[in-house]
Amino acid sequence: MSAEQAVQPRVGCVVETGGRIVFDLVSKSAEGRQLLLRLRPKKGQPEKVVHVLDLEPADDGGRQAVLDPNTVLVEGRWDVYLVREPEAERQRLRPGLRDLRALVDGHRRDWEAPLAVRVPYATADGYLAVRSWLRPAHAEVDGVTITDRSTTVGARLHGASLEAGAAVCLRLRSGDGLVREVEPRVEEDGRSFSFTVDHGELAGGHGVWDVFVRPAAQAPLVRVARLLDDVAGRQEVFVYPTTTVNGVGVRPCYTADNDLSVEVKKAG
Amino acid sequence: MKISFLIHNAYGIGGTITTTFNLAHALAERHEVEVVSVLRHREHPNLTLDPRVSLRPLVDLRQDKEHALHLRPAKVFPSAEYRYRQYSELTDQRIGEWIAATDADVVIGTRPGLNVHLALQAPPHVVRIGQEHLTLDNHPPRLRTVLRRAYRRLDVLTTVTEADAAAYRRKMLLPGVRVEALPNSVPDPVLPAADGSAKVVVAAGRLVPVKRYDLLIEAFAAVAAEHPDWQLRIYGKGEERDRLRKLIGDLKLWNNVFLMGAATPMEAEWVKGSIGAAASNFEPFGMTIVEAMRCGLPVVSTDCPYGPGEIIKDGVDGRLVPVGDPDAFGAALLELVRDDERRRRMRGAALENARRFAPGPVVEQAERLLSEAVVARRAGRAVVQDRTGVHRVLVSQGFAARDAAFAAAGNARRLVRKGQR
């Protein structure tokens, strides 16, 4: 084993039902004072937001840091570092076991506004990060039914209620404001709803249609997405089939941020 | 004792690597342990190796790929071995040099071709343990013929199941070689066990045809139809991925069945489920079954050769269903999905019964085996006194003759094909 790997400490974490995240420093040798979460800046941009958690001795002899559910993390990807000494260079942490079982059925609960979701995950290059979403309201996708002609999406609204004048809007990304609206079927609780998009309606606009719901006539748009479980990135996991209409392929899909879109492109 | 494991490539992912690392870690508590990796293709192993265990690569493909000797076919490593094409004169040479110079008391080979190296090249003071992670009946006749000769020079041959050990005793004449089943061990889980309430079925393994994930997905259609709030999560990567994805689409199961990609380690994923599943046609051991059980999941598995039937007690800590029968598999899953009480009862039994695969008991057996072999070799006698009767000699000679005939026929076929080209 090389020295580099031996000194690279791992941090495990447990997400509790209430949303509290407890980080456990696995390597006993990794002394440290604080965990530092930093919002990953866009490429070429300086780092602006960091959040520091104190490491405390844990019952098992290791060290723990707690991310409280009330701590606000803005939406994005947060990289996790260890700070050994106040002025020392921070060290990026590798993931240990991530016990996320409390998140698995998150879509079955009602969430309060603003909706704060955090999912620890391993980055492609093998480091620990926390995916965070922070939204005033959120529409969680449940089942998706796809036929040759249309796609029907069942969803549930959190942090808002559907009222008269509610609409589902599909907006063509970079498509000079091209929008299709469909009327949602709303259940009695004003939270659960479904909507059907006719594939032929979208076939004219090649590109990616982002899906929103407007809960009431003048209300701001709420993104339709799937955030409430343990899957930090579902693009490659929740995969829907492509339907072909008039030589055009239509496929519901998730963005890198787990938002629902419909991709329309030339078939084949 | 100083113990060395000789492994194909410790830097990859797979059952043999996992189980070798597990055993190496456990033995390192009381012994000096080294893992010798014939090949290396990256800086660090995929799986974390305990710092007490040293790791020594013999051929680093990042530098040696174009080495003149590496371009020439191997002569010691048998050509009938599955991985023959990855071996070369360079691997022959490096393995040979390493074995000749080793100060280990015991060397443990972890695949047929490496067991052959060990049998032929280990110096007299070294105890030779061959491990078979695959099975005799699935080896091609040509390989069986090579092994039949070479394995006589081992001290101990371990298989992962009793069934496979029985096959070696019956079909190979290995006088003086102790043949014993040594199951793979699975470390004690770190996380609390699953509580049986999650509506998630979990399966894990490489996405290859023999694992029959297609059958599992088909079987899960019955579950999804009756219980749309249940999910099937399949962890792993491999050549079958696109085909399986298409099947999920064709069966309209995209809301219930998910190809999750590879996860190492699996522990945090197992505990998100409440039922494990394994639909293989063939499973030399069934490591994932034990892993799932140790995390508190009763497992529904096909009763394929050889492992599952030696791990699962049908109806007690899991279910065994006939191979290749999606209806039976779906019905067995549904039994557990429908009945929360039964599932929780089986959860308890799975945790209890899988404890025999904990490193403790397995390592105890391994240590006993190793030290008896060391004592025997130092005393210059076989680990077991051979009790082979005339009958067994005749039986195994029969199998030898058949393999030789098959091997010869195979050679002839290859020659004919060559001639036709």
What pLDDT does B18 receive? 87
What pLDDT does A6 receive? 47
* Residue given tokens 């965070």 in the structure block: A132
Which chain A residue has the Cα nearest residue B271? Answer: A101
Phi and psi (nearest 5°) for B273?
Answer: -110, 180
Domains of chain A by start residue, with CATH: 8-135 (2.60.40), 138-266 (2.60.40)
Q: What is the mean pLDDT of residues B4-18?
A: 92
pLDDT tens digit sequence for A74-120: 999 999 999 988 788 899 999 999 999 999 999 988 888 899 999 99
Which chain B residue has the Cα nearest residue A235? Answer: B260
Compute the CA torsion angle B230, B235, B240, B242 (nearest 10 deg): 70
Mark yes or no for CB contact A146/B190 under 8 Å: no
**Mean of the per-residue pLDDT values of chain A:** 91
Q: What is the mean pLDDT of residues B258-269?
A: 94
For each of chain A's 268 residues, which pLDDT tens digit applies?
A: 333 444 578 899 999 988 999 999 876 655 778 999 999 999 999 988 899 999 998 887 788 999 999 899 999 999 999 998 878 889 999 999 999 999 999 998 888 889 999 999 999 999 999 999 999 999 999 999 999 999 999 999 999 999 999 999 999 998 777 999 999 999 999 999 999 999 999 988 899 999 999 999 999 999 999 999 999 999 999 999 999 998 899 999 999 999 999 999 988 7
What pLDDT does A40 receive? 95
> Which residues of B fall within a CB distance of 8 Å from A142?
255
Distance (Å) from the C-alpha of residue B5 to the closest C-alpha of chain A?
A: 15
> Which residues of B fall within a CB distance of 8 Å from A5?
44
Which chain B residue has the Cα nearest residue A101? Answer: B272
Of the partner residues B49, B255, B272, the one whose CB lies closest to the CB of residue A101:
B272
Which chain B residue has the Cα nearest residue A26? Answer: B190
Q: How far apart are CA B78 and CA B93, in angstroms?
A: 14
Q: How far apart are CA A236 and CA A124, in angstroms?
A: 13
Global pTM reads 0.88
Length of chain B: 421
pLDDT at B418 over 70: no
What pLDDT does B394 receive? 66
By CB neighbour count within 10 A (0-12 exposed, 13-18 middle, 19+ buried), where does B88 fall?
buried
Flag whether residue A97 sits within 8 Å of chain B, measured between CB atoms: yes
Mark yes or no for CB contact A101/B198 under 8 Å: yes
By CB neighbour count within 10 A (0-12 exposed, 13-18 middle, 19+ buried), where does A44 fall?
exposed
Q: What is the mean pLDDT of residues B377-406?
A: 71
Mark yes or no for CB contact B44/A237 under 8 Å: no
> Which residues of A fall within a CB distance of 8 Å from B268?
97-100
What pLDDT does A203 receive? 85
What pLDDT does B390 receive? 58
Which chain A residue has the Cα nearest residue B35? Answer: A1
Q: How far apart are CA B368 and CA A200, in angstroms?
A: 71
* Percent of chain B whose pLDDT exceeds 90: 84
Mark yes or no for CB contact B194/A104 under 8 Å: no
Q: How far is CA A128 from CA A31, B78, B417, in A?
A: 18, 43, 54
Q: Which sign does the torsion angle of CA A231, A235, A236, A238 carry?
A: positive
Produce one character per residue of B122-145: b if its CB has 16 or more CB atoms within 10 Å, e if not: beeebbbbbbbbbbbeebebbbbb
**What's CA B251's distance to the chain center, in Å?**
32
Q: Where are the alpha helices (DSSP H) in B84-200?
A: 89-101, 112-121, 141-150, 162-171
Q: What is the mean pLDDT of residues B142-166?
A: 96
pLDDT at B373 over 80: yes
Mark yes or no for CB contact B190/A97 under 8 Å: yes
What pLDDT does B386 receive? 46
> Which residues of A fall within a CB distance of 8 Å from B260?
237
Of the partner residues A100, A237, A240, the one whose CB lies closest to the CB of residue B260:
A237
pLDDT at B382 over 80: no
Distance (Å) from the C-alpha of residue A265 to the closest C-alpha of chain B?
A: 19
Least confident of B97-106, B130-139, B399-408: B399-408
Mark yes or no for CB contact B272/A238 under 8 Å: no
Chain B residues contacting A via beta carbons under 8 Å: 43-44, 49, 51, 53-55, 190-191, 194, 198-200, 228, 245, 248-249, 252, 254-255, 258-261, 265, 267-268, 271-272
Residue pair B233/B202 in contact by the 8 Å Cβ criterion: yes
pLDDT at B330 over 50: yes
Mark yes or no for CB contact B272/A230 under 8 Å: yes
pLDDT tens digit sequence for B73-87: 999 999 999 999 999
Which chain B residue has the Cα nearest residue A242? Answer: B249
